[in-house]
Amino acid sequence: MNWIILVISGLFETVWAIALGRSAGFSRLVPSLVFAVALLLSMAGLAYAMRTIPTGTAYAVWVGIGAVGTAAFGMLWLGEPATLARVLCLLLIVAGVVGLKLAH
């Protein structure tokens, strides 16, 4: 169950990162509120998961999910370049996250 919560928390990291960019320095209300709520949920889930998952593993998985999710969102919906090199690097991050889970 803690691994599921950790994955969901990583997805909320993606949400808050995107909302932070959309908030225009916290000058836009809705993205700023989405950022705050997603950040709270993301951190709470990470903290909960760390009760049974080692800190280094939990944090690396959480950051990896957030980083890949945010970069993929940028490439798919924000017009950021989706070069072969970028996609391969994201796949390496995914492989690392999966490896951390399997090695746990």
The amino acid that residue 74 corresponds to is G
Q: Average pLDDT for consecutive 10-residue bins of the chain (104 residues)?
A: 96 98 97 98 98 95 96 97 97 94 86
pTM: 0.91
Tokens linked to 101: 């889970």
Instruction: Give CA torsion, residues 23, 25, 27, 29, to 10 deg.
Output: 30
Token match 């705050």: residue? 36
Specify the pLDDT at position 104: 77
pLDDT of residue 31: 98
Q: Could you give the CA distance from residue 13 to residue 46 in angstroms, rounded to a whole number?
A: 10
Type of residue numbered 44: A
Q: What is the pLDDT of residue 101?
A: 87
**What is the Cα–Cα distance from 18 to 24, expressed in whole angstroms?**
11
